[in-house]
């Protein structure tokens, strides 16, 4: 099924469930968008934790081996790329009510299209973060399999 026709069918189904009330149908789309936003905030928080942990333990991890340094840096960069992607593609605010004021007949379709785009962007951002966390975990595992002796405070 073509994406456009799938969106039209979904919009028709939502409108039918809302008994033709466009504002009620837009509230359904808005609540779905809120779910994507909430999950995107979780991804942003996880990426922020990577940066925080790097600030506290990055030097110790990187000091264990060259491979650990590479995995640490790659994991950090991918996590930051994920955060930038999610911020730009998912977290950008666009009000649903602007859709209803533009074109009432197609407002719900536009909202569903927007939701689908943001859901896809969230999935890509989540995948990037997962790979970044995996690389980061490998760097920690490398450190733990060959720990260095700590002499004095780590700076």
Secondary structure of residue 155 in the 3-state scheme: coil
- The pLDDT of residue 134 is 97
Sequence-distant (6+) residues with CB within 8 A of 65 are 142, 143, 146
- The pLDDT of residue 55 is 86
**pLDDT digit string, tens, across residues 69-105:** 999 999 999 999 999 999 999 998 877 777 766 667 7
**Full-model pTM:** 0.84
Residue 148 has pLDDT above 70, yes or no: no
Mean pLDDT of all residues belonging to the chain: 89
Average pLDDT over residues 47-59: 90
Sequence-distant (6+) residues with CB within 8 A of 108 are 11, 14, 15, 22, 25, 26, 29, 99
Distance (Å) of CA 45 to CA 42, 48, 50, 52, 86: 5, 5, 9, 10, 11
Lowest pLDDT segment from 30-44, 78-92, 135-149: 135-149
Average pLDDT over residues 27-34: 93
Distance CA 82, CA 127 (A): 8
Instruction: Provide the 8-state DSSP code for 90.
Output: T
Query: What does the domain layout of the chain look like in residue ranges?
Result: 3-145
The burial class, CB within 10 Å (0-12 / 13-18 / 19+), for 136 is buried
- The pLDDT of residue 60 is 87
Most confidently modeled range among 46-55, 105-114, 122-131:
122-131
Count of alpha carbons within 13 Å of 133, Cβ hemisphere only? 16
Sequence-distant (6+) residues with CB within 8 A of 89 are 117, 118, 121, 122, 124, 125
């Amino acid at each position: 099924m073509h994406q456009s026709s799938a969106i039209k069918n979904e919009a028709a189904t939502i409108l039918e469930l809302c008994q033709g009330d466009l504002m009620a149908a837009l509230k359904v789309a808005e609540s779905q968008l809120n779910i994507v936003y909430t999950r995107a905030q979780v991804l942003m928080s996880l990426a922020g934790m990577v940066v925080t942990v790097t600030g506290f333990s990055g030097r110790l991890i990187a000091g264990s081996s060259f491979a650990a340094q590479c995995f640490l840096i790659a994991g950090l960069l991918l996590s930051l790329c994920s955060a930038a992607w999610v911020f730009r593609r998912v977290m950008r605010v666009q009000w649903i009510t602007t859709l209803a004021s533009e074109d009432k007949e197609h407002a719900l379709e536009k909202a569903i299209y927007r939701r689908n785009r943001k859901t896809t962007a969230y999935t890509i951002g989540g995948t990037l973060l997962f790979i970044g966390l995996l690389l980061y975990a490998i760097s920690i595992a490398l450190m733990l399999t060959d720990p260095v002796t700590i002499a004095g405070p780590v700076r």
